[in-house]
Amino acid sequence: MTTLSRTLSVTAATAALVAGAAAASTASPAVSPTARPAVSSAASAPSSPSTAADTYSWSHSATGSEARFRGLAPVSKDVAWVSGTAGTVLRTTDGGSTWTDVSPVGLGTDELQFRDIEAFDARRAVILSIGEGTDSRILVTNDGGATWTETFRNRTPSAFYDCMAFTSPRDGVAMSDPVDGKFRLVKTTDGGRTWSQVSRTGMPDAKPGEFAFAASGTCLQEGAGQRMYLVSGGADPGRVFSSKDAGRTWTVADSPIPGGAAAGIFSIAYRGPRLGIIVGGDYLKPDEAADNAAFTRDGGKTWQKARSNPSGYRSGSDWVPGAYGTALAVGPSGSDVTTDGGRTWAPFDAGSFDSVECTDDGACWASGELGRVGILQH
């Protein structure tokens, strides 16, 4: 993707999603939020997606901000962080009853878009800003956002960082769109304080025009053990890259989700090493519900189309804790749920969200435009 087309892609994505979101829904103010990681497969799921859809809803938490929060990092039912436009970062420690502005100050980040955030507790978090060249930066806090330290600034003009993922509080990877024909990765082993480039030798070649979407911080995701997953668009079809060694070596598989200039896979989520879902679509067609979701039962060797799709383009996804086979997908035209591991989906909300993540203690949070944050009720 050329510098110009990638810049236009980010600008168009923001404009299109804001336009779609503005018409989407009004949120009733409320209290509560939610969070993220992988989940156990013990509990049984509702009998069908439509049954779950009848019982699921979002309770909205008033953030007092009008930023667009594509970055979401819930830690528990009480603690969550969001990051987004105009260099904005907020944190709650009381389940969303109140939010504190912990945005970086004095570091020249006021115009940056923090599209991804990873948090480990109420004090430690890492944020990633996206953009061409030096607009791609990583900052770290260890004091709840009272102070931030810039620990990475991209110096390669053709690089454009999209997402981060951490397999532990110390070990993480950040991903750029292809540079010289391959997706570029940088890694940390000290919680984000220092970063080094990962060798290119283990990364398969990118296709012409292939890139990732910085829409929800979930184009790169961690999985069980040292597994990591990277999803792409731009080229047709969207592809899924998989690593079993924390990003050193990768395999790649085609998906049934079409790719294009504004289309492809936007989000991936795994439950354990074998069960995974991918969602996406075309962000310029937010209401189009065709070929925008797929699932795997074999750890990503093969991907199958959903039999019934989410009800529009979807930018974020995650598994619901304690309900085997149950996952959520969100986008500017609404939210959907599956209870059969991604085979079928049903809508349960028409409001706009960009990101969704669930926590080990059973909370699921969503975030999006105009400062919206939701906590799943069911």
Q: Contact 290/263 with Cβ under 8 angstroms? A: no
Structure tokens, 219: 């184009």
Distance of alpha carbon 114 from alpha carbon 86, whole angstroms: 8
Can you give the pLDDT at residue 359?
A: 98
Instruction: Please state the domain count of the chain.
Output: 1
Q: DSSP 3-state helix, strand, coil percentages of the chain (rounded to 5)?
A: 10, 35, 55
> Which residues constitute the domain of residue 289?
65-377
Please indicate, yes or no, if residue 23 is contained in any of the structural domains. no
Can you give the pLDDT at residue 46?
A: 53
Distance of alpha carbon 343 from alpha carbon 36, whole angstroms: 22
Can you give the pLDDT at residue 50?
A: 82
Residues contacting 242, CB < 8 A, separation 6+ = 227, 228, 229, 230, 250, 251, 252, 253, 299, 300
Please indicate, yes or no, if residue 24 is contained in any of the structural domains. no
Distance of alpha carbon 280 from alpha carbon 267, whole angstroms: 7
Structure tokens, 25: 């829904």
Please indicate, yes or no, if residue 55 is contained in any of the structural domains. no
Q: What are phi and psi of 370, to 5 degrees?
A: 55, 35
CATH of the domain at 338: 2.130.10.10
Q: Quote the distance between the C-alpha of residue 130 and its chain's center.
A: 13
Residues contacting 245, CB < 8 A, separation 6+ = 226
Please indicate, yes or no, if residue 54 is contained in any of the structural domains. no
Can you give the pLDDT at residue 47?
A: 57
C-alpha dist (Å) from residue 27 to 60, 99, 109, 210, 313: 6, 17, 29, 36, 20
Distance of alpha carbon 217 from alpha carbon 50, whole angstroms: 28
Can you give the pLDDT at residue 33?
A: 28
Distance of alpha carbon 352 from alpha carbon 62, whole angstroms: 15
Can you give the pLDDT at residue 131?
A: 95
Distance of alpha carbon 370 from alpha carbon 353, whole angstroms: 10
Closest CA to 213 of 292, 149, 274, 271: 292
Can you give the pLDDT at residue 261?
A: 97
What is the block-wise mean pLDDT of the chain (378 residues), using blocks of 10 residues? Answer: 40 38 34 33 58 92 98 98 98 98 98 98 98 97 98 97 98 98 98 98 98 98 97 98 98 98 98 98 97 98 97 98 95 98 98 98 98 96
Q: Kindly state the DSSP code that residue 154 receives in the 8-state scheme.
A: -
Can you give the pLDDT at residue 3?
A: 39
> What is the DSSP secondary-structure string of 301-350?
SS-EE-SS--SS---EEEEPTTSTT-EEEEETTEEEEESSTTS--EEEE-
Our CA angle for 372, 87, 371, nearest 5°, is 10
Please indicate, yes or no, if residue 11 is contained in any of the structural domains. no
Can you give the pLDDT at residue 9?
A: 44
Q: Contact 339/47 with Cβ under 8 angstroms? A: yes
Please indicate, yes or no, if residue 28 is contained in any of the structural domains. no
Residues contacting 2, CB < 8 A, separation 6+ = none
